[in-house]
Amino acid sequence: MIVDLPSYTVGKEADWSLIPEHMIGGLRHYIEFGIEPGGFLEAVLCNDLKNAVGRADHINKHRLNDYIMFLYNFAPSDCWGSPEQYQEWIDRRGLNWDGVA
Protein backbone atom coordinates (compact mmCIF):
# COMPACT_ATOMS: atom_id res chain seq x y z
CA MET A 1 0.00 0.00 0.00
CA ILE A 2 1.09 3.55 -0.69
CA VAL A 3 2.17 5.40 2.44
CA ASP A 4 1.78 9.06 3.44
CA LEU A 5 -1.57 9.61 1.77
CA PRO A 6 -3.27 12.92 2.53
CA SER A 7 -6.32 13.63 4.62
CA TYR A 8 -8.74 16.29 3.42
CA THR A 9 -10.81 16.57 6.60
CA VAL A 10 -9.76 18.14 9.87
CA GLY A 11 -9.36 15.72 12.73
CA LYS A 12 -9.92 12.58 10.66
CA GLU A 13 -7.32 10.51 8.90
CA ALA A 14 -8.63 9.41 5.51
CA ASP A 15 -9.16 5.68 5.11
CA TRP A 16 -7.50 5.17 1.73
CA SER A 17 -7.95 1.40 2.05
CA LEU A 18 -11.49 2.01 0.79
CA ILE A 19 -10.07 2.95 -2.63
CA PRO A 20 -8.41 0.30 -4.81
CA GLU A 21 -4.71 1.07 -5.11
CA HIS A 22 -4.80 1.51 -8.89
CA MET A 23 -7.42 4.27 -8.48
CA ILE A 24 -5.79 6.35 -5.75
CA GLY A 25 -3.70 8.48 -8.11
CA GLY A 26 -6.66 9.50 -10.26
CA LEU A 27 -8.79 10.37 -7.26
CA ARG A 28 -6.00 12.37 -5.64
CA HIS A 29 -5.26 14.30 -8.83
CA TYR A 30 -8.93 15.17 -9.14
CA ILE A 31 -9.34 16.25 -5.50
CA GLU A 32 -6.06 18.13 -5.25
CA PHE A 33 -5.74 19.68 -8.73
CA GLY A 34 -9.12 19.29 -10.44
CA ILE A 35 -7.65 16.99 -13.09
CA GLU A 36 -10.37 15.04 -14.86
CA PRO A 37 -10.25 11.35 -13.95
CA GLY A 38 -11.28 8.43 -16.12
CA GLY A 39 -14.89 7.64 -16.97
CA PHE A 40 -15.57 5.42 -13.98
CA LEU A 41 -14.40 7.97 -11.41
CA GLU A 42 -16.19 10.76 -13.25
CA ALA A 43 -19.45 8.80 -13.01
CA VAL A 44 -18.91 8.10 -9.30
CA LEU A 45 -18.09 11.74 -8.57
CA CYS A 46 -21.16 12.89 -10.53
CA ASN A 47 -23.34 10.46 -8.56
CA ASP A 48 -24.23 8.61 -11.79
CA LEU A 49 -24.72 5.01 -10.67
CA LYS A 50 -25.77 3.71 -14.07
CA ASN A 51 -22.61 4.91 -15.80
CA ALA A 52 -20.38 4.01 -12.85
CA VAL A 53 -21.54 0.40 -13.03
CA GLY A 54 -21.18 0.37 -16.81
CA ARG A 55 -17.64 1.77 -16.71
CA ALA A 56 -16.33 -0.20 -13.73
CA ASP A 57 -13.54 -2.72 -14.15
CA HIS A 58 -13.67 -6.12 -12.46
CA ILE A 59 -12.38 -4.64 -9.20
CA ASN A 60 -14.35 -1.41 -9.05
CA LYS A 61 -17.73 -2.99 -9.78
CA HIS A 62 -17.58 -4.55 -6.32
CA ARG A 63 -16.32 -1.41 -4.56
CA LEU A 64 -18.92 1.27 -5.30
CA ASN A 65 -20.04 1.36 -1.67
CA ASP A 66 -16.43 1.92 -0.59
CA TYR A 67 -16.09 4.89 -2.92
CA ILE A 68 -19.22 6.49 -1.51
CA MET A 69 -18.05 5.85 2.06
CA PHE A 70 -14.70 7.46 1.24
CA LEU A 71 -16.22 10.48 -0.50
CA TYR A 72 -18.85 11.03 2.18
CA ASN A 73 -16.43 10.73 5.10
CA PHE A 74 -13.09 11.96 3.80
CA ALA A 75 -13.41 14.07 0.61
CA PRO A 76 -14.33 17.75 0.39
CA SER A 77 -18.12 17.82 0.15
CA ASP A 78 -18.15 20.24 -2.76
CA CYS A 79 -15.99 18.03 -5.02
CA TRP A 80 -18.64 15.39 -5.69
CA GLY A 81 -22.36 14.65 -5.73
CA SER A 82 -23.60 16.05 -9.03
CA PRO A 83 -22.36 16.84 -12.54
CA GLU A 84 -22.44 20.53 -11.65
CA GLN A 85 -20.27 20.10 -8.55
CA TYR A 86 -17.88 17.89 -10.53
CA GLN A 87 -17.46 20.53 -13.25
CA GLU A 88 -17.12 23.40 -10.77
CA TRP A 89 -14.35 21.46 -9.00
CA ILE A 90 -12.48 21.01 -12.27
CA ASP A 91 -13.00 24.66 -13.19
CA ARG A 92 -11.54 25.83 -9.87
CA ARG A 93 -8.64 23.35 -10.19
CA GLY A 94 -9.37 21.42 -7.01
CA LEU A 95 -8.00 22.15 -3.57
CA ASN A 96 -4.92 23.85 -4.95
CA TRP A 97 -6.88 26.66 -6.55
CA ASP A 98 -4.78 29.79 -6.54
CA GLY A 99 -7.50 32.25 -7.49
CA VAL A 100 -5.94 33.03 -10.87
CA ALA A 101 -8.03 32.18 -13.92
Tens of pLDDT, residue by residue over 23-40, are 999 999 999 999 999 999
Asked if 52 and 63 touch (Cβ cutoff 8 Å), the reply is no
Write the pLDDT tens digit of every residue in 41-99.
Answer: 999 999 999 999 999 999 999 999 999 999 999 999 999 999 999 999 999 999 987 65
3-state secondary structure the chain: CCCCCCCCECCECCCHHHCCHHHHHHHHHHHHHCCCCCHHHHHHHCCCHHHHHHHCCCCHHHCHHHHHHHHHHHCCHHHCCCHHHHHHHHHCCHHHCCCCC
